[in-house]
Every structure is written in structure tokens, then in C-alpha cells.
Amino acid sequence: MHMDKLAIVVPCYNEEEVLKIASEALRGVLKDLVEKGKIAADSFILFVNDGSKDRTWELIEEEHAAHPASVYGVKLAGNVGHQFALTAGLITAKDMCDVTVSIDADLQDDVDVIEEMIDKFHGGCDIVYGVRKARKTDTFFKRVTAQGFYKLMGAMGVKTVYNHADFRLMSQRAVEEFSKYKETNLFLRGMMPLIGYQTDSVYYDRKERVAGESKYPLKKMLALAFNGISSFSVKPISLILGVGLFILFVSALALVYALISYFTGHVVQGWTSLILSIWFLGGLQLLAIGLVGQYIGKIYIEVKGRPRYNIEKVLTDHGVEEERG
């Protein structure tokens, strides 16, 4: 019987404090799942060193030497950030396995739900999102900013899974499809829902970091949010167009008001034409910028060259053909 080979992909940036702990915990998960007959015996962990400045890579090498069959490593030449590091890991892993699970090195995500993810994968899901139940361990600040983040994304028309970070199972064919998205402005959480296929979620409590500090300070979080919006949505441009139209409408009202004031004779010389020009030209300019923006938005979407569709199955008189990759 064919057993599915699992790759657990772990991006690591300056994680010397947690690396060994993570490796041990994840090897435990693999062992358990192999014993239960849920994954192949040659399943492995793939640590991606994202240009760490500390001893992270040396530790990955040590782990690999101690457990050559179950711990693999990828060393990126420099720091490219979490999203790219994860992408590098997933794309490297996809040719070596049947299914991937991505997880952070700090073990904030509950490794025990990986089994549930695998069960859902066997049940036919290609993507399984790890979704955190509550945000008890977060500071008030992080909780409020994070919730604002999801709300803002939603309002801007970016589809994301609420309270899901990058703890996620992806089948080999889902990663294959993902690899066709060539864009450089990566926002993985927004991209996964575009892939399609059957998906599901598992729920868990997010813990505190095992050790070390967050590599995601507010500045990086804001950058991620802005990147998410500007990579997925041309809505801000449409907003400009909308405001332009609105101001033109206001200028019509201003026309009425200015004329009434003019004829009732309460105005300084020249005020009427001046105020009308201000409103009308302001509105016209915004409208024009918004219009130009619409074209730029279209160019932007074209330039990304995303796949236009993803065929899952074809039904012909030769039978059903699964489209793989």
C-alpha cells in the first residue's frame, strides 16, 4: 500500500534557542504518525535557514548529522524574510514528498493537530488551515492590531482565513499549483485561497514562544499588512475614483449654493467663480487620477501573470483523469 510521505517545512531566522527543541518535538510527531501508519517511514523535517546571523545553520547541520533520514536542511544565501523562506522550503520539498505541513520554529502552533491535518488530507483535502482558537497568550496590543489586520484585509477585498497564520497542510499538487504563482510580492495567506481544491481547518490554542523573541515587530507586521493589501487588491485605486466622483457631485451642490449666495448678494467679488473652480477642478483631478489608476491596476494584475484557473479533474469518455500539476 502506498503511504504518503510528509515533509514538515520550518523557516528559521535566528532560532538557535529553539531549534533543537523544535527538531525533537517534530521528530516525535513524525515517529508517532509513522507508528500509527498514517505517513511513510521516510517522512522528514525540512529546516530552512533564512540567513540567520546566529548558530541556527550549524545546529541544523548537527541535527541532520544525528538524524540524517528525518532532518533535512536548506540554507538560503541571505535573509529574505519569512514568506520567501517558507516558499523556498515548500517548493524544495514538493518534489520529495506527497504532502507538506508548514510550521514556525518557535512551536507556538500546536504540533499535536498535525495528525488531524493528515486525517483531513486522507479525507480528501488538499489544503488544511491551522486556525487559532483564541488569542489568550497575546498581549492586548497584538490582539487588537491582529484583529484590525483581518478586518482591514477583508474590507479591502483580500480573502484570508480568519486567525490563520502560516501553519498549514498542503498536498503536493497544491504546492505545485502554488509554485505557478510567480509574483514577488508574496502574501501566502492571501494566495492559498486562490488555489482552490477542497480545504478545511483545524483549531488549536496558540502558545507562547518556547524561547527567543518574536521576529515580527510591529514594523514588519504593518509592512506585511500593507503588502497583503497592495498585492491583492486594486481597491484603493477604486476608492480614489469613488472620491473623485463624490467631489464632482459636491461641486454641483456648491454650484447651487454659490449661485444662491451670488444672487442674494452676500458675496465678495470673485468668490463665486473661485469656489466653483476649486470644487470642480478638485473633483475632476481626482476622477482623472482614479481613471488612470484603473489602467495601472489592470496592468498590475496582468503583470503578475497568475494562473487563470486550476483544473482539478477532466471527465471524458476515456474516464476521469486527475490533473496533477
The residues that touch ligand UDP, with contacts defined as CB under 6 A, are 11-13, 15, 50, 79, 81-82, 85, 104-106, 108, 214-216
Residue with cell 479525507: 123
Interaction between residue 106 and Mg ion (CB under 5 A): yes
Interaction between residue 110 and Mg ion (CB under 5 A): no
Nearer to ligand UDP, 212 or 307 (CB): 212
Beta-carbon contacts of 194 under 8 Å, excluding residues fewer than 6 positions away, are 159, 181, 306
Task: Tell me how many helices (H) and strands (E) the chain has.
Answer: 10, 9
CB of 151 to ligand UDP, least distance (A): 18
Nearer to ligand UDP, 78 or 319 (CB): 78
Near Mg ion by CB under 5 A: residue from 108, 171, 172, 201? 108
Measured in degrees and rounded to the nearest 5, phi and psi for residue 203 equal: -115, 140
CB of 45 to ligand UDP, least distance (A): 13
Yes or no: say if 171 and 310 are a contact pair by the CB < 8 Å rule. no
Query: Taking CB within 5 to 8 Å according to partner kind, which of Mg ion, ligand UDP, none is near residue 82?
Result: ligand UDP
Beta-carbon contacts of 10 under 8 Å, excluding residues fewer than 6 positions away, are 22, 26, 45, 46, 47, 48, 89, 102, 103, 104, 105
> 218 to 257, contacts with Mg ion by CB under 5 A?
none
Nearer to ligand UDP, 52 or 272 (CB): 52
Q: What count of other Cβ atoms lies within 10 Å of the Cβ of residue 313? A: 8
CB of 81 to ligand UDP, least distance (A): 4
Interaction between residue 201 and Mg ion (CB under 5 A): no
- Name the DSSP class of 241: H
**Which residues here bind Mg ion, judged by CB under 5 A?**
104, 106, 108
